[in-house]
Structure formats: C-alpha cells, structure tokens
Amino acid sequence: MELDNIIKLIHTVSESALSSFTLEEGDMKISLETRRDTQTVNVSGGNPQITTAAVDLIPSAAAAPDTEAVTGNLIKSPLVGTFYNAPSPDAAAFVQAGDTVKKGQVLGIVEAMKLMNEIESEYDGIVEEVLIGNEQMVEYDQPLFRIR
C-alpha cells in the first residue's frame, strides 16, 4: 500500500465514528486507533520506511487563539488522569454550571494510577462553565472549570 493511500485511509477513518480500525494486506498490517484528539497509526511489514505516525485530529481553526476575552478564574488539572464529576457512578455531580461554590469545595476528582485526587475550588464564586466531561482523560494544567 502506498503512502498516499495510507494517508487517505487515515483521513477517512478520522472523519468516521470508528474508534479503531485494522487492515491487513499481504504482509502489511495497519492499525488505527482514535484516542481523544490524536490518532495513532501502526504499520508493520511492507515498506520499512513507514513504521508509525501520529496524526493531529484537531482542525486548524480550533488551534487558532480564541478572540473572546476569557472571563472568570480557571481551575486547572494538577495532574494527568481521568476526570470524574461525581464521587460514584450513581451519585449526583459535585457541581454544575450555575452552582455557587466556596474556596476549598470539591469540584471533581482526577484519578491517576488508581489514586483519587480531589479537585478543590481555589475561589468563591459561581461555576460559569464546566470545561470537561465525566470520565474524560485530562492533561496536566488543562482547564476544568471556569469560576466567576
């Protein structure tokens, strides 16, 4: 399979709702797996020059800086992990947009290496926006909440 065809395949899979895709052609195997905002491509066999590649799935327009002024205070993730908006799957969310919060109040949990780390508000105010969904992966310093 030629590089142009591999690139077309990557674009086709990235535009679909698929989370994973595998193609075997002769001695070559291509595996595509979508995780959050990146897609990993593994190619084995065939042309040894094509081994692995990572493709950014964020449209270039989304990468442009936001022209709107950011209002409020951001609460950011102190670590990489999985975000949870409630203490258990059947419990209500700690906070929602529009809720009044006090400094030190738990807003959510980030699980990292099987440890649950409470994310506390650094400000008194109103939750203007929840910037992350339940059970989503978060990166270090990623904004989670906007408090005004």
CATH number of this structure's domain 73-147: 2.40.50.100
Is residue 100 within 8 Å of 113, Cβ to Cβ? no
Residue boundaries of the structural domains of the chain: 3-59, 73-147
pLDDT at 65: 45
Check if the beta carbon of residue 43 is closer than 8 Å to that of residue 72. Answer: no
Sheet strands side by side (includes 143-147): 73-76, 143-147, 125-130, 100-101
Residue 77 has pLDDT above 60, yes or no: yes
Task: Choose among 74, 131, 139, 89: nearest CA to 110.
Answer: 139
pLDDT at 119: 92
pLDDT at 116 over 70: yes
Does 13 score more than 50 pLDDT? yes
- When pLDDT is cut at 50, 70 and 90, the band that residue 20 belongs to is confident
Confidence (pLDDT) at 50: 44
Higher-confidence residue of 75 and 69: namely 75
Say yes or no to pLDDT of 23 above 50.
Answer: yes
How does residue 70 score in pLDDT terms, banded at 50, 70 and 90?
low
**Average pLDDT of the residues of the chain:** 77
